[in-house]
Amino acid sequence: MSAALEIRGLEAGYGEVQVLWGVDLSVAEGRMTTLVGANGAGKTTTLRAVMGTVRPWKGSVRFYGEDVTHLSPHTKAQMGLVLVPEGRQLFADMTVEENLEMGAYSPRARKNLAANLKRVYQLFPRLEERRAQRAGTLSGGEQQMLAVGRGLMADPRVLMIDELSLGLAPVLAQSLFGTLKQLKEQGLTILLVEQNVHLALALSDYAYVLAEGRVQIEGPSREVARNEEVRRAYLGI
């Protein structure tokens, strides 16, 4: 199966502190790939370096075969590489629908605005009910729905999601994972960073375990989930 996203030898950090040490990672088209590991392992930094919000020090990022390592986040998003960041980062004083429309800023996404808005409201009926409500007044679960919805409005070819279930009640996390399952079944390519290891491994096709800025283990998610050494040493489960 062809790779939609190919990361090779990626090194990055903050200031003089190196966080990533030669990360290799491949995301197959039409599949869900998950990146798991303990806090501080470098998962969020990996996504930021891929997106370009953290500048890669070394290595390469290829998107459908094209080297995009040093392109701006804006340019990558226009190409269809989209990140739903940790912490949601919504426009609190704007309405739900205005936030969604902000996701469709690129010419590529603008063409499909109406169809994508309909799709988001079908996936998240609660957002349609709240379409005129200010984003800052939504519950945490609704805000996460909106963050994912805004990412979908960008018409992604690859959707990267950082900590989907962070801070959410288990029932809301389950609901959002159900939505991810629908998106996967519709053929969307997803790279997921997630603290809920059980859910992430149960839903994804392939998994990478990151520890201290390096990929320690990789393989089909079911195999990784069954690996006792991985569970004890890297995942704490």
- State residue 108's pLDDT score: 87
pLDDT confidence of residue 198: 87
Query: 226: how many CB neighbours lie within 10 A of its CB?
Result: 12
The residue-averaged pLDDT of 145-166 equals 96
Predicted pLDDT of residue 1: 66
* Torsion sign (Cα): 204, 202, 35, 156: positive
The answer to pTM > 0.75 is: yes
The answer to whether the beta carbons of residues 11 and 59 sit under 8 Å apart is: yes
Residue 74: phi and psi, rounded to 5, are -60, -45
Q: Report whether CATH 3.40.50.300 matches the domain 1-80+157-165+188-237.
A: yes
Handedness of CA 120, 125, 130, 132 (dihedral sign): positive
- Identify the pLDDT of residue 55: 96
CATH 3.40.50.300 residue window(s) in the chain = 1-80+157-165+188-237
**pLDDT value, residue 228:** 86
Q: What is the mean pLDDT of residues 145-168?
A: 95
Model confidence at 237: pLDDT above 80: no
